Amino acid sequence: MQTGYYASAAGMVTQFNRLDNIANNLANVNTAGFKEDNLVIGDFMKVFKEARDEMPNANNSEEGAAFINRTMTRAPQVTDSFTNHSLGTIEKTSNDLDFALSSEGLFFVVKTPQGVKLTRDGSFTKNDEGTLVTKQGYEVLPSNYSGNGGKISIAQEDNIISVDKNGNIYTNVPGSVKMNQLSSLFIAEPKDVDLLKKEGDNLYAFENIDDLNIIDNSGAVSQGYIEKSNVNAVKMMTQMIETNRLVGMYQKVMSTQMDDMNRDAIEKLAKKA
Question: E strand or H helix at 69, and its extent?
Answer: helix 62-72
* DSSP secondary structure, 101-125, as one string: E-STT-EEEEEETTEEEEES--BEE
CB 141, CB 187: distance < 8 Å: no
Which residues of the chain fall below pLDDT 50?
1, 65, 68, 71-72
| Predicted local confidence at residue 118, as pLDDT | 95
pLDDT confidence of residue 109 = 94
Residue 157: strand, helix, or coil: coil
Three-state SS for 27?
Answer: helix
Q: Which helix (H) or strand (E) holds 3?
A: helix 3-27
Q: What angle do CA 130, 131, 136 make, to 5 degrees?
A: 115
The whole-number pLDDT of residue 179 equals 84
Can you give the residue ranges of every domain in the chain? 3-85+231-272, 90-227
Q: What is the pLDDT of residue 207?
A: 84
pLDDT of 49 reads 60
Distances (CA, A) of 272 to 258, 265, 266, 267: 21, 11, 10, 9
- Structure confidence at residue 205 (pLDDT): 92
For 111, phi then psi, to 5°, come to -110, 125
Q: b or e along 205-240 (b: 16 or more beta carbons within 10 Å of the residue's beta carbon)?
A: ebeeeeebeebeebebbbbebbbbbbbeeeebeebb
